[in-house]
Amino acid sequence: MFPKVYRTIRTPAVISIVGDRVSGHGKAPQTDPRPYITWQIVTGDPYSNLSSAPGGDFTTVQIDCYHKDEAGAQALALAVRAALDAELIVNRVAIDTIDSDTQLYRVGLEADFIDQR
């Protein structure tokens, strides 16, 4: 239900770009230096069965990588993708744009976390 996103993407490659600037709920403090990452749960689905409580959850998370330039946003997204791949978490690019509020380049990845309860 609450996947371990921060722990999963906290690799040396990601840290070298954003440090600890990773925020949940799709929001980062406006005072945070750039670049940064936000993440939010998009959808969740329990592994339901008829004989007992669900044994796990399938949760799709959107991870947004923000950077002041296009190459930086892409490098950050590649580092996040490598972290997800290393943990065998299926992921895909969901959005690649310039954010209208921050005017930062934004690459958003969707990642499918499967967690046991």
The whole-number pLDDT of residue 24 equals 94
Q: What is this structure's pTM?
A: 0.91
Q: What was the pLDDT predicted at 81?
A: 98
Run means of pLDDT, 10 residues per run, the chain, 117 residues: 90 97 91 92 88 89 97 98 97 96 95 92
Q: Hey, where are the domains in the chain?
A: 1-21+54-66+79-112
Instruction: Give the number of residues written for the chain.
Output: 117
Predicted local distance difference test score (pLDDT) of residue 52: 87
pLDDT of residue 109: 98
For position 116, what pLDDT does the model report?
A: 87
